[in-house]
Structure 1
């Protein structure tokens, strides 16, 4: 898959302008790095305003929630209920997105519910109801990972064609931190005990149960995880595959993508294996409390913009980094030059 390269000449020009601003060299730290990155992504200095920010929450259920008590602090029925909360504009990401003027869209990829009464466009890309319990069976049937990946690409196209300047992948699915841990462990060759966290807030017994589930899943999948779509089929979910497609297509269209937490980080690892150059179009919005995200971001070479101790998901952490990106753009666009001040 062809991925365009960010504009190196714009990056160099941005660095030159930043050094010439009315301030000591490098005094604005990470804001300068982000300003140069955005300039390269947009191919111009200063970069264009980030006026149209779009969050897409991929929703789906995961079979690991039936793997006994303690895998999640909440029952899987919460996933369907949360779809309605998103549509009502009452979720955490809805509230936080409004603060920066971002739009939130929810997409039912694999919710284990008919979602009666929910607008048809929410269900237009649905692949299946739920996924298999990865400790005992594959998450997806043959071909479903590829279909979900293409669905994610189609959603990215829809948002970009509607004017998106910045894409943010969100996630909703009880059990998703267990899935993310399995994907990261398999991708990076790590033991379950190093990548599993507390997710929604399970106690130590719950975390031990999650470690057991991920260990069993890794042993069952074996060497099949060396190929990205086989990995998604064995240990992922339709949501993870759709998120990977969304990330890749954003890069293919030359639109910056701001990763959220642990789930989008795990999907990004798989997406990188499908389209290695896509990572040049991604930023990490924030650092999750989940250890698997730390490993994923290190492997991707991404440094989180914010670290607020968040573990909500939904895209809620990434939307708070939008203000920082806009500040970086304002610095290079609006600050005066030192040469004009002396």
Structure 2
């Protein structure tokens, strides 16, 4: 699963700036998520921003300090921007609307997207990066029509917050938490599988809470153990979730805890999204990291004093730079 976060979006836009056409006077975001990309880009360029309707109606949503246009206030070069182009349908519609409008002959329209699929490149004049399918972005992961129904979702820490130590008493306080906690997110599409380490005995309260908040799902899978003490003694949260993930045809596991996310990915060799670190964990990256760790361990075993000496020198140098 190829993933880009909002931080990635900003970083990729900044890397893209030197390759963009020069002297852009106006950024036009293609609703909805094109406005997110457009806002970031317009701030970096310090130029005005509008949406597609605003552009066609000569309205500007946000004005930058610079507006290089002709004396009549008409922008000379306009960048029509979307966050991503997959099949090109949204960009094709935007082109059609602009072609049908009466624009000054001096206005040049450039079509762009931060991310394009291999087949989407043909629909834009400029782009920052190619991101192939399967893919999902941080700004639509929880509502993606092609991903949410095919994913496993952890519950506590994803759909609602984790209980406090006081609430997590495996008794009356915990039942109160399960029944009354506010949701963190309500996905707009049905979740394929909710896979939680909550105990099976709390199913009635959990099902009632999900129904009350309009969270739809295909299957709710809970840990069938007698009590919290047994669950803690076994310490098999990640192993249990990985077993469920292995048995279903989900394309993604959304996990709240980063260490559990790493373990689930290791056990399944499949994509896991860590909510804690806003990171898509992929097994190929884990394999590279494991090889690097083994290489460092081998070096340490062959020359422990040398490795410790080099590590100490590195730390000393870094501390000296930070204090200077």
Q: Give the TM-score band, short-chain normalised.
A: 0.3 to 0.5
TM-score for the superposition, normalised by structure 2: 0.32
Q: TM-score, normalised by structure 1?
A: 0.31
> Larger Cα Rg: Structure 1 or Structure 2?
2
Higher helix residue share: 1
Q: Give 1 or 2: higher strand fraction.
A: 2
